[in-house]
Chain A
Amino acid sequence: MKAVVVVFPGSNRERDVGRALREITGHEPHYAWHADPVLPAGADLVVLPGGFSYGDYLRCGAIAGRAAIMDAVRGHAARGGLVLGICNGFQILVESGLLPGVLMRNAGLKFACRMQHLRVERADTAFTRRYAAGQVIEVCIAHGEGNYVADDATIARLEGDGLVAFRYCDADGVVGGAANPNGSINAIAGIYSSGRTILGMMPHPENLIDALVGGTDGRGLFESLAA
């Protein structure tokens, strides 16, 4: 597993995800700078980390989504390479057009920083094969703009084609109501591309890999990538 973590000005979770990759896949990831025109050769996985790229100016992820390296990320994705966007990385994926829809201001207007249960929608993807379908995991969220919105046709396609990766839920796996922290349509917390090789998600699995620090429910995602 050769992973590349792309660092933008204002990224701040690149070391967290780098540590998760190193500890769980056994390989230190490469770090690429946003202005690089190419990715390191032989990358299997490109990670767009969380943070506040370009200070969230214009729209979250808008400027990073048009950075020089994103053409290389598009090429990698077009070749079937894996792409994981977490939090700001998810915002960058939708702004760059690699995933559909948009992440709006949280419906409650507050920055949501808390532990959050998620339901794993399917366990037959490169990102989730070490989980079980329907499994409830507890990770954390930390975002102000995570309210997933798309037009009706896009939502119907995501649901119909099984492209919803995670939904916000309560500890029992029940979706809806107060378990939805930001107003996302259908409680969507993460989505796949049509080939399920690109995953964008607002929650932070990379911060739940150590029992000393909150829990280990995020490990499954990195174990899946390493498998």
Chain B
Amino acid sequence: MKARVIVTLKTGVLDPQGKAIEGALRSLGIEGIDSVRQGKVFEVELAGTDRASAEAALKTACDRLLANTVIENWRIEFA
């Protein structure tokens, strides 16, 4: 089973890297972009086939390591 964990900055947390990327896109002349916020994507291969236990394991992984919940949100998507 494959899953994808997406970690994004919480609303209101300043994102200097996103701002820099936004500026770079503007300097490339790519139009129509209002703002950019960057985050992380983790592609995870899971050993079992039980989705509920996989989801539980991934939630623990997010809370304990993959995201810093002081500043980041996470969500899990199954392929």
Contacts and interface: CB of A to CB of B under 8 A. Distances in A.
Interface of A: 58-59, 62-63, 66, 94-95, 100-102, 104-109, 147, 149-151, 183
B14 A66 contact: no
A102 B65 contact: no
B71 to A, nearest CB: 5
Nearest to B18: A105
B36 interface: no
A109 B20 contact: yes
Contacts of A150: 70
B29 interface: no
B72 to A, nearest CB: 9
B32 interface: no
Q: Is the interface of B mostly helix, strand, loop or mixed?
A: helix
Contacts of B70: 94, 100-102, 149-151
Contacts of A63: 65
B68 interface: yes
Contacts of A104: 13-14, 16, 71
Contact of B16 (A101, A105, A151): A105
A139 to B, nearest CB: 24
B16 A106 contact: yes
Contacts of B68: 59, 62, 95, 102
B71 A102 contact: yes
Chain A contact residues: over half helix, strand or loop, or mixed?
A: loop
Interface string B52-67: 0000000000001110
Contacts of B71: 102, 104, 149
Nearest to A63: B65
Instruction: Please list the 5 inter-chain residue pairs (A to B) with the smallest Cβ-Cβ separation, ordered nearest first.
Output: A102-B70, A105-B16, A102-B71, A109-B16, A109-B20
Contacts of A105: 16-17
A147 B70 CA distance: 14
10 contacts: A59-B68, A62-B65, A66-B65, A102-B70, A102-B71, A108-B16, A109-B16, A149-B13, A149-B14, A151-B70
A107 B20 contact: no
Interface in B13-71: 13-14, 16-17, 20, 64-66, 68, 70-71
Contacts of A102: 68, 70-71
Contacts of A147: 16
Contacts of A149: 13-14, 70-71
A58 B14 contact: no
A151 B13 CA distance: 10
A8 B57 CA distance: 27
Contacts of B64: 66
A107 B65 contact: no
A104 B65 CA distance: 16
